[in-house]
Structure 1
Amino acid sequence: MTVHRGRITAGRRLAFSVVLAPVCLGLAACQPGTDSIVPAGDAGYAAIALPQGDGMPERYLLQPGDVVSVQVYGEQELSVAEVSLDNAGMLNLPLIGGVRASGLTADELSESIEAVYAAEYVRDPRVAVLVKKTQLRTIAVEGEVALPGVYPYAEGQTLLTALALARSTTEKAKLDEVMIFRTIDDQRMAGRFDIRAIRGGRMPDVTLLPGDIVVVGFSGSRGAFLDALRAIPAIGIFRPWP
């Protein structure tokens, strides 16, 4: 089984414990112990896989602070060399004012602008949007690593390369309790991976995405997943642990 930009292909059987599932929104239903909280097996990698066509960077979605150019062919006065998305994710364009851009690809934004101009101002407009600058995309690495922190995301980054950025795991790290938190379609997902199996080539590495949070557990604890549950109210993923 291989994982590439969130897409799943059939492959060898899982030989170690991989646990992933939608994060519980109601903790009353969750019992102590990770095995009772989430299913194991092939569903693990599938849980954090993106829908077909949503890999990076072909489907980059604009966000506040990004800078784009807007060219309206044959209408120089309507073209803008550089314009930033404001904090609400809007673009301010000649004649039409605010246009929602956040959450759209460049092609989708082009079509949206064409529709607005065509409605009242320009006959058969042709619009091209080019992304010129993007906000810094990051991942976070926490827990039992030598240098926890927030790091710039690079295309193709994996779980192992993220741990390398954090100067690898500590002696106390529990290598079979390395968690990944990811948001897909506005839903937070969580997973547990065995780094020893990945390092040994027995399991595929996991391709990370911007915004992923990696948490490395520590030996002697009740488990990295339960530790993460206790910490999660501070970052708004779960309700408080009872």
Structure 2
Amino acid sequence: MNRIFAGGLMALTLLLAGCFSPSDGLPAGEEAYRVIPVQSEDGALREYRIGVLDVLSIRTFQEPELTFDQIAVTSAGTINFPFIGELNVIGKTPQTLSDEIEAGLGTRYIRDPQVVVGVVSSAAQRVTVDGEVVQPGVYEIAGTSSLIESVARARGLKFTGVDDEVIVFRMIEGERHGAVFDLRAIREGRAPDPEIIGGDRIVVGYSALRGAWEDFKSAAPVFNVFRRF
């Protein structure tokens, strides 16, 4: 009787646990690589994207009051610029930010402004690896990494990890985007390994089936105790 009860409880747990997935609605397959692409075939790095605590230089041609040798990005990913105010800069390229400042100044204040944004110093680039990995945490990378390399830094997947439901989140032009990748297909060479950049967050999905099995095995000694009485 105890076995029947345990089996029924386990089946109900599996049914309830499988009703929701955090990857629902996110692009997968070929669509995922449009959001999080692979490194170019010639090995060239993607254009740098500004991160929190970076130090920028902003030079406005013939406008010394609008020229700064150093301006720090806040922990919230913003800077304050004269006449424009607070700008969200995280995830933007220096060229994109240059264009945005030119547009803001040109609207009211300066005729045909010319702005150049540079990166004086870059804060250590970090990638967060979370979810069903052995050692979740924040890991430093030099420039860029790949999905396989980033997951390996976290010591790989736990037993309850789902290798075909690995989500990468990235800030692009100030907006958060996500995409789902099949780590098994990447390992086997059936899919390309997407490029991971500083600021990305990787979340490995949870297997409700394996999790319920782990819970069942943990509870098994308890059921055996009851059977003795």
TM-score, normalization by structure 1: 0.54
Q: Which runs of 4+ in 1 moved over 6 A?
A: none
Structure 1: stretches of 5+ with no match in the other structure? 1-29, 224-242
Aligned residue among 157, 164, 171 for 2:145: 157
- Candidates 26, 31, 49, aligned match of 1:46: 31
Deviation at 1:89, TM superposition (A): 1.7
State whether structure 2 residue 99 is matched by structure 1 residue 111. yes
Aligned to 1:193: 182
1:32 maps to which residue? 18
1:1-242 correspondence runs (5 A): 32=18, 43-47=28-32, 49-50=34-35, 57-58=46-47, 60=49, 62=50, 65-86=53-74, 87=76, 89-93=78-82, 96=83, 98=85, 100-102=87-89, 104-117=92-105, 124-170=112-158, 172=159, 174=161, 176-183=163-170, 186=175, 189=178, 191=180, 193-195=182-184, 197-209=185-197, 210-215=199-204, 217=206, 220-221=210-211
- 1:31 positional shift: 9.1
How far did residue 82 of structure 1 move? 0.5
Between the aligned partners of 2:125 and 2:114, the Cα distance in structure 1 is 31
Query: Aligned partners of 2:54 and 2:85: how far apart in 1?
Result: 15
1:159–1:206 CA contact under 8 A, matched in 2: yes
Give the structure with higher Rg (CA): 2
Change (3 A) 1:125 1:139: closer
1:213 is paired with a residue whose SS is strand
CA RMSD, Structure 1 to Structure 2 (Å): 4.2
Between the two proteins, what is the percent identity of the paired residues? 27
- Give the drift of 1:130: 0.9
Letter in structure 1 aligned against 2:126? T
| Deviation by residue 1:50-71 (Cα, 9 ceiling, x = unmatched) | 289xx973262x4553321122
Task: Assess, with a 3 A threshold, how the Cα gap between structure 1 residues 99 and 49 changes in structure 2: closer, same or farther.
Answer: same
Structure 1 CA distance for aligned equivalents of residues 56 and 29 of structure 2: 37
CA positional deviation for 1:207: 3.0
Which sections of structure 2, spanning at least 5 residues, go unmatched? Answer: 1-15, 214-229
With over 3 angstroms needed to count, the CA separation of the structure-2 counterparts of 1:217 and 1:155, relative to structure 1, is farther
Structure 1 residues 31 and 205: alpha-carbon distance in aligned structure 2, compared to 1, 3 A threshold: same
Distance across 1 between alignment mates of 2:203 and 2:107: 47
Alignment check: 8 A CA contact 2:146 2:195 kept: yes
Question: Offset at 1:129?
Answer: 1.5
SS of 1:157's equivalent in the other structure is strand
Compared CA separation, residues 206 and 128, structure 1 to 2 (3 A):
closer
Q: What letter corresponds to residue 105 of structure 1 in structure 2?
A: T
**Cα–Cα, structure 1 residues 139 and 45, in superposed 2: closer, same or farther, change >3 Å?**
farther
- Would the aligned equivalents of 1:63 and 1:101 in 2 still touch at CA under 8 Å? no
SS in 1 for 2:29: helix
More helix by proportion, 1 or 2?
2
